[in-house]
């Protein structure tokens, strides 16, 4: 849902900015690299120190590059498989930095080993959720399921909760619990999504094998 509606809205909003960057001679790949570097820096500089508000602001600003680079490529007529590969690969790097930064906080000053484990699980499960779809499609299965929590949902839930929880340092009470709650939601949602995709590939595999056997039987009867 977020991918469908939010991406369409922000694509329209950011189209003039993408056109401006193209006029300045900036390439889509450069925007992808800068966006990833900024997201990683924001996550690994601010989150391990518990500065969740400023970390979230920094990461959010750079995450919008994920919409700008594709918009630039379409406007310039330079959409390519390489660009799609680079964008998808670096998205995983940024995601890992976000949850890695949170894990570092809970392993250190945050002093909560359980939440450290949950953050690491969010990191790992997010990668596996993406891998199950990519691997299934590479084997010829449509993987016809979106799942409960995809990348957009993982980022929105985690970053909104982190940003609001960060307001605790400015004196806003009772908001620090939002981040642990969000991590549990993302962890459970990612697990459900992973199982949804695995079971979907299993079902599609059985259906494909049955179709192939029926076809072979029909050819044999002839």
The catalytic site residues sit at 91
Question: Is residue 56 within 8 Å of residue 9, measured between CB atoms?
Answer: no
Three-state DSSP at 30 gives helix
Return the CA Rg of the chain: 21
Helix (H) or strand (E) holding 11: helix 2-23
Three-state DSSP at 51 gives coil
How many Å separate Cα 202 from the centre of its chain?
24
CA distances in angstroms from 221 to 40, 108, 163, 207, 218, listed in the order given: 60, 69, 66, 21, 5
């Amino acid at each position: 849902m977020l991918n469908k509606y939010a991406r369409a809205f922000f694509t329209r909003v950011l189209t003039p900015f993408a056109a401006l960057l193209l006029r300045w001679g900036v390439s889509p790949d450069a925007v992808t690299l800068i966006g990833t570097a900024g997201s990683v820096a924001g996550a690994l500089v601010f989150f391990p120190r518990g500065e969740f508000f400023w970390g979230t602001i920094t990461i959010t600003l750079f995450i919008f590059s994920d919409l700008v680079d594709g918009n630039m490529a379409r406007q310039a007529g330079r959409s390519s498989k390489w660009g799609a590969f680079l964008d998808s690969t670096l998205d995983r790097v940024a995601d890992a930095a976000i949850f890695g930064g949170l894990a570092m906080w809970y392993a250190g000053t945050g002093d909560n080993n359980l939440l450290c484990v949950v953050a690491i699980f969010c990191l790992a499960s997010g990668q596996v959720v993406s891998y199950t779809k990519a691997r299934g499609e590479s084997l010829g299965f449509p993987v016809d399921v979106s799942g409960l929590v995809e990348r957009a949902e993982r980022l929105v839930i985690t970053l909104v909760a982190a940003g609001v929880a960060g307001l605790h340092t400015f004196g806003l009470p009772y908001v620090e619990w939002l981040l642990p709650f969000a991590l549990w939601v993302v962890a459970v949602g990612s697990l459900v999504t992973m199982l949804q995709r695995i079971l979907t590939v299993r079902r599609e595999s059985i259906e494909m094998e049955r179709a192939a056997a029926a076809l072979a039987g029909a050819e044999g009867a002839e």
